[in-house]
Each structure stands twice: as structure tokens, then as C-alpha cells.
Amino acid sequence: MNIIEIKNLSKVYDAKTIPVYALNGINLAFSEGEFTSIVGPSGSGKTTMLNLLGGLDSPTGGEIMIDNTDITGLKSRQLIDFRLRNIGFVFQSFNLIPVLTAKENVEFIMQLQGVNKEQRDRRTFELLKSVGLNDKVNTRPNKLSGGQQQRVAVARALASKPKFILADEPTANLDSKSAENLLEIMEKLNKEEHITFIFSTHDARVVAKARRVITLEDGKIVGDVSKN
């Protein structure tokens, strides 16, 4: 079952002067439960692709269907609400709120969703436990290592029970051991809980674990290989 369908997607910058095609006529589909890496050289369109899939940027043309909703046709308020309830994000810079504890960072999105305190507390503890941080519940980001902060970010991305998680270079700022640990956690969540992950990455370790690898070059798909 496809949860994402992309049709003739394009993103053009400086269209009025010299157009630069960050994405040029992309057609793709992603199924539920995928563990997929989008790879390619710098400037190939990887991050642009994730930003469009996540509704963080608008395409110049084409459609992005998520669970039968064309997000390119949503108004700003509708898009914010759709993202809140359907898409999880993990960024390379962690993007945790520094004044909040690990628990407060994870539960923040559930507060926005209107989830009651008892449910928030239960799910937050379960998520932090699942990423090996049940002993860091009341710790703020500046007291956590980079790897620990990224694991909090993964727990936060899962908090809303999204249809899929977009991870933009999630291992880029981590040492080798922390990166391996994070990948093992995400792979476990994917296999055991069927959570869909779509990565943008340069990291060979991420690519090695991915079951599908999509290669972009100059805004076009030049490779799409499934390993199983």
C-alpha cells in the first residue's frame, strides 16, 4: 500500500532569471513500512525532496499525495495541521527546545494535538524507553550527548504517531558509535513497529541499512534499487 505518491514534481529556484531545477519531473511512490535512503551529491535535490514531502516548502509544479490527500493544494493552516498529525521529522541539528527536558520535548507535539496529560506521560515514557533514554526523562538537551539528543529527536518524531518519518542527514553530527546506535534503534522501530523511515543522507552506514536506495542527480532520479 502506497502512503506517498509523487507525480511530476518540480522545484525551480530563480525562475525569473536563470532557472535552477532543484527537482525536475520526479515521479515516485513510497509504501508503508519502507526503510529508504535518498542519496546523491550535494545539490542533487535530496533535502529539497524531503522538505517538499514534509510540507516545509512548496513545489513549483506537480502533486504530492499523502494518504490520498494532495498536500500541495492545502492552505497554510490546513498544511500545519496535516503535518502535525501525519509527518515526523528528524533533522541533523537535532532542533530540540533547549529550555525543555527530554520528556517535555517529546510531549510538546502531543500538547499541540490536545492529548491529555495521562496519555502524554505514558506515551512519552514508552518512547524514551524505546530509544534507551528512560533515565534521562528530566534532563535538558545541554546535558545530553549529541547521540542522546538525536535519540530524543527520534522519540519526538514518533510522538504524534505519524504515517512516516523524514530524517534529513540524521547521523551527520554524530560520532561513529552514536550513529551506529541511532541506526540500530531506527531499524528496530521500522522492523518491529513497521514505522516508515525516509532518509536523506551522505552516510554509507545509513545506505547500507536501507532496503531501498533512490539516487538523485541534478534534480532527477538516476537510480531506484530495492535490496529485498
Q: Render pLDDT for 197-212 as a digit per residue (tens, 0 to 9).
A: 999 999 999 999 999 9
**Beta-sheet pairing, 69-70 with 220-226:** unpaired
- Summarised one tens digit per residue, pLDDT across range 120-150 is 999 999 999 999 999 999 999 999 999 999 9
CA 151, CA 90: separation in Å to the nearest integer? 9
Sign (positive or negative) of CA dihedral 126, 128, 133, 137: negative
pLDDT tens digit sequence for 55-80: 999 999 999 999 999 999 999 999 99
Share of the chain above pLDDT 90, in %: 76
CATH code for the structural domain at 2-226:
3.40.50.300
pLDDT score at 211: 96
So where are the chain's domains?
2-226
Its pTM stands at: 0.91
Task: Evaluate if residue 15 carries a pLDDT over 70.
Answer: no
How many whole angstroms separate alpha carbon 39 and alpha carbon 51? 15
5 CB burial (10 A radius; 0-12, 13-18, 19+): middle
- Segments of 143-207 assigned E as strands: 164-168, 197-200
Res. 102: pLDDT tops 70: yes
pLDDT digits (tens, 9 = 90+) for 81-98: 999 999 999 988 888 999
Asked whether the CA dihedral 79, 82, 84, 88 is positive or negative, the reply is negative
